[in-house]
Structure 1
């Protein structure tokens, strides 16, 4: 059986994506479908760009507001904490107010959060805006797969692939142009410009809601969400929380997330402190993000060709290890691109591979839902510690040595988890 990265992501990001198989009473028009796709892609642009863009200008924000590195690291954990709670918030909202209305709420909160974050150069505004945009992104993370399955059931791979591509490309774009935008005005302008994309997304989702009402489409959203929640909450023959391999998968995914969000928060600052210009640091950060897209394509080819997953998992884990060790302790001049590609490859492959493992290693959809919920809960709980500890170690030692040693040790440990998480057997 062949699997694609886009299909795997769609089916495992949230149980709602597995449950929404009910046919619609009236087929959506071509205009509605096109509008939905446009709305999805507009939202995708801002699913990572506000977070990655902040990491690119974090040094300037820190200096302007007089913040410690630990505080910047704490701000970097806010999105991760929001993601960990999204599986509970999104289904309740969607069940209560409807899928399309929840997407309107998510895009509206995203726009408001981006603008609040830069409304005034104070820590309170920065924190409040970051919380709002993080909650908005978490809603989108959970519900986008349900939207895709609902409106484009015959083109899930194409739409999810486009969505994933926009995530990766615009995350890299946000990192690459951040300092150029700062040079035009300020760091507030560099972060606030993305709010106008969210305004456009709000308009697109409003049109979707209008077209849906005009066509009188009924999709039984409440039943779909209730079914998904019931499936996720129903215990399997043996709880995945009692299965060692489920813990290996959760740890493997969690340590990758820890590295990704830590580098997203601190990589530009680290590179600037080690002698690179702001523009060079932004370009390296952009490469780190963009490498994820070809990495996912490679993973898709690898899995569809039935090649050994353990080999790819180990290569990705070693890539993370090499990248972190290179950034921290090896020469940057001429080699910084190697470290960026290695770490970007590792992060891009491991996340998508873990999403695939939920399906490949599970006995049935019920167990896959449980495994997905466990891995994301444990994984994001682990990831929260990365930016906090990294920032604390930087403030403690006034250098990056302890911070990068911490990350290097964790990535070495994750090489072991890559081996354990890809055993050639089902979860049992």
Structure 2
């Protein structure tokens, strides 16, 4: 087994670039809803538009998640990463310059087009430059994405109060612009070097080198999903089995909880929790912060202890308790309800780990990942808009909260199916014979 080389040895620019990309991908999602109260003082933003803004991330992630691999094959990882970051930077700038709800929505779609592409590109970039340190790097960028989810709500309102909401929104574009610089430098350096000296022509170390623990093993599996070619035959079979649909329902539930919260939680807390916009932003930050330990602990508990079903039921129970608290006693302990609701973040790393261990090969895993994420994001795109429509129709938050609680309850059978210790190949062979 070869010793992995230091992270910064000959690849410091890639390290900096990956960290900055990871930070930029999530800060765009979490920085808008805390300052909607400030924006509405300048122009009206209807609940339908807020719902569409909340639906934009999963829709863009699904669409551009499918399109990006095709573009990358033609232009290469670094060029497409530069393009995605440029689009994201432009969208963040335009969002800060919006003069009505439609331009705000259009700029948000531009932002998440770039984010959707970045989500797909980041694991292959890690695999290209850090194949010998996958576990460390994927933990690093996952942690950075978690940090960039809870920091923006924490500072967005204070900045908007002192410097205006436009600067509060546009500020996050600075990180996207900074993320461009290492990749532009790497691309220029690659062009100037002879092909034999190019970093991309150097055979990467064996991805299994340096795997010391469960977290590294999970990271290798996730990296394989991101780069392996999809098998159309396998993808076609997934439609005919319960397990892939169960995994899609779990992933869709996870995404629904997150995007409904980022679209509506601050407004809900201001309306029924009797808190200020600054406090609502802080509470949204607490919601996001709950995902940080989940991402570190859940993969180990699943792979080492086969704890899929207990973790799923804990996440669902926590979500129901937190939402019931907001429904029945919103002013009693809003911070407690938000943190408990935030434990639904368990479902996200749970879903990602299951995408790797519920398939025998990287080829079938990438087909399963595409199936689950496309359907899951389609499910998640419905609910931010539905919550806004229900809020407008009923004039309150009771019905929307009941609907979101219903999503958690309905997902329970899917979670139990997803928790079965079998692969999609096992399920196919039990029903149809040889895989």
Tell me the TM-score normalised to structure 2 length. Answer: 0.86
Shift in CA distance, 47/228, structure 1 to aligned 2, threshold 3 Å: closer
What is aligned with 1:4?
none
Q: Secondary structure at the residue paired with 2:421?
A: coil
Structure 1, unmatched stretches of 5+, are 1-26, 222-226
> Conserved in 2, the CA contact under 8 Å of 1:32 and 1:212?
no
What is aligned with 2:307?
308
Deviations 1:127-174 (A, max 9, x none): 221111101001110011000000010111111111111111121000
Deviations 1:86-142 (A, max 9, x none): 232211221121110111111111111100111242223312211111010011100
Q: Which has the higher contact order (CA 8 A, sep 6+)?
A: 1
Question: Following the alignment from structure 1 to structure 2, what is the Cα–Cα distance between the partners of residues 336 and 276?
Answer: 9
Q: CA deviation at 1:410?
A: 1.0
What is aligned with 1:145?
123
Structure 1 segments, 4+ long, off by >4 Å, are 27-32, 227-230
What is aligned with 2:53?
75
Question: Following the alignment from structure 1 to structure 2, what is the Cα–Cα distance between the partners of residues 323 and 289?
Answer: 14
**RMSD of Structure 2 on Structure 1 (CA):** 2.3
Among 191, 215, 233, the alignment partner of 1:213 is 191
Question: Following the alignment from structure 1 to structure 2, what is the Cα–Cα distance between the partners of residues 201 and 332?
Answer: 41
Question: Following the alignment from structure 2 to structure 1, what is the Cα–Cα distance between the partners of residues 201 and 62?
Answer: 27
Question: Following the alignment from structure 1 to structure 2, what is the Cα–Cα distance between the partners of residues 183 and 87?
Answer: 36
What is aligned with 2:222?
none
Question: Following the alignment from structure 2 to structure 1, what is the Cα–Cα distance between the partners of residues 243 and 137?
Answer: 32
Shift in CA distance, 247/186, structure 1 to aligned 2, threshold 3 Å: same
Tell me if 1:399 matches 2:377: no
Question: Following the alignment from structure 1 to structure 2, what is the Cα–Cα distance between the partners of residues 259 and 63?
Answer: 28
What is aligned with 1:96?
74
Q: CA deviation at 1:32?
A: 4.8
What is aligned with 2:283?
284
Tell me if 1:41 matches 2:38: no
Tell me if 1:408 matches 2:386: no
> Conserved in 2, the CA contact under 8 Å of 1:317 and 1:418?
no
What is aligned with 1:361?
358
Question: Following the alignment from structure 1 to structure 2, what is the Cα–Cα distance between the partners of residues 201 and 410?
Answer: 37
Among 378, 383, 386, the alignment partner of 2:380 is 383
Q: Secondary structure at the residue paired with 1:44?
A: helix
Structure 2, unmatched stretches of 5+, are 203-224, 428-435
Deviations 1:306-336 (A, max 9, x none): 2422111111121222222222223433x22
What is aligned with 1:297?
296
Shift in CA distance, 175/400, structure 1 to aligned 2, threshold 3 Å: same
Shift in CA distance, 218/208, structure 1 to aligned 2, threshold 3 Å: closer
Question: Following the alignment from structure 1 to structure 2, what is the Cα–Cα distance between the partners of residues 32 and 120?
Answer: 42
1:229-308 map, 5 Å: 231-236=229-234, 239-274=237-272, 275-308=274-307
What is aligned with 2:422?
425
Tell me if 1:134 matches 2:112: yes
Identify which range, 113-122 or 146-155, moves more after superposition.
Answer: 113-122
Identify which range, 108-117 or 120-129, moves more after superposition.
Answer: 120-129
| Alignment size in residue pairs | 395
Question: Following the alignment from structure 1 to structure 2, what is the Cα–Cα distance between the partners of residues 126 and 236?
Answer: 40
> Conserved in 2, the CA contact under 8 Å of 1:55 and 1:268?
yes
Identify which range, 376-385 or 351-360, moves more after superposition.
Answer: 351-360
What is aligned with 1:12?
none
